[in-house]
Amino acid sequence: MVGNNPGYAPKVQHKIKKIDVHLVSHPITGGFADATRKVETIGYTIVRITTDQGLEGIGVTYHEVGGEATRALILNNMAPKLIGRDPLETEAIWQEFFHYLRGVGRKGLMYCALSAIDIALWDLKGKIVNLPLYRLLGGNQTKAPVYASGGWTSYDDDQLVDEMKGMVARGFSFIKFKVGVEGGTNPRRDAERVRKVREAVGPEIKLLLDANNCWDAATAIQAANRVREYDIFLFEEPVFADDIPGLARFKRGTDIPLGTGEHEYTKFGVRDLVAAEAVDILQVDGARVGGITEMLKASAIAQAFNIKFAPHAMENIHLHLVAALPNSLFLERLLMFEEVTAHVFKNAPVPVDGYMHIPDLPGLGLELDMDFVNDNDDARKLGSA
Ligand SMILES: [Mg+2]
Average pLDDT over residues 158-170: 98
Residues with Cβ within 8 Å of 200's Cβ and at least 6 positions away in sequence, in order, are: 161, 164, 165
Can you give the pLDDT at residue 190? 98
Asked whether the predicted pLDDT for residue 343 surpasses 80, the reply is: yes
Tens-digit pLDDT profile for residues 89-128: 999 999 999 999 999 999 999 999 999 999 999 999 999 9
Asked whether the predicted pLDDT for residue 11 surpasses 80, the reply is: no
Ligand 1 centroid to residue 257 C-alpha, Å: 14
Tens-digit pLDDT profile for residues 359-383: 999 999 999 999 999 999 987 665 4
Average pLDDT over residues 281-303: 98
Sign of the Cα pseudo-torsion (79, 85, 87, 90, in order): negative
Ligand 1 centroid to residue 236 C-alpha, Å: 6
Ligand 1 centroid to residue 212 C-alpha, Å: 6
Ligand 1 centroid to residue 240 C-alpha, Å: 12
Can you give the pLDDT at residue 384? 45
Distance CA 22, CA 284 (A): 24
State percent of the chain over pLDDT 70.
96
Ligand 1 centroid to residue 42 C-alpha, Å: 15
Can you give the pLDDT at residue 385? 41
Three-class SS of residue 43?
Answer: strand
Can you give the pLDDT at residue 6? 54
pLDDT mean across residues, the chain: 95
pLDDT band, very low/low/confident/very high, at 29 (cuts 50, 70, 90): confident
Ligand 1 centroid to residue 334 C-alpha, Å: 10
Tens-digit pLDDT profile for residues 35-80: 999 998 899 999 999 999 999 999 999 988 899 999 999 999 999 9
Ligand 1 centroid to residue 61 C-alpha, Å: 16
Ligand 1 centroid to residue 261 C-alpha, Å: 9
Q: Which helix (H) or strand (E) holds 245?
A: helix 244-253
Ligand 1 centroid to residue 345 C-alpha, Å: 24
Q: How many C-beta atoms surround the C-beta of residue 83 within 10 A? A: 11
Ligand 1 centroid to residue 224 C-alpha, Å: 16
Ligand 1 centroid to residue 239 C-alpha, Å: 12
Asked whether the predicted pLDDT for residue 20 surpasses 70, the reply is: yes
pLDDT band, very low/low/confident/very high, at 8 (cuts 50, 70, 90): low
Ligand 1 centroid to residue 237 C-alpha, Å: 7
Ligand 1 centroid to residue 150 C-alpha, Å: 10
Can you give the pLDDT at residue 9? 66
DSSP 8-state symbol, 6: G
Question: In the chain, what are the domains?
Answer: 6-131+369-381 (3.30.390.10), 135-357 (3.20.20.120)
Asked whether the predicted pLDDT for residue 285 surpasses 70, the reply is: yes
Q: Do 303 and 117 touch, CB atoms closer than 8 A?
A: no
Distance CA 90, CA 111 (A): 15
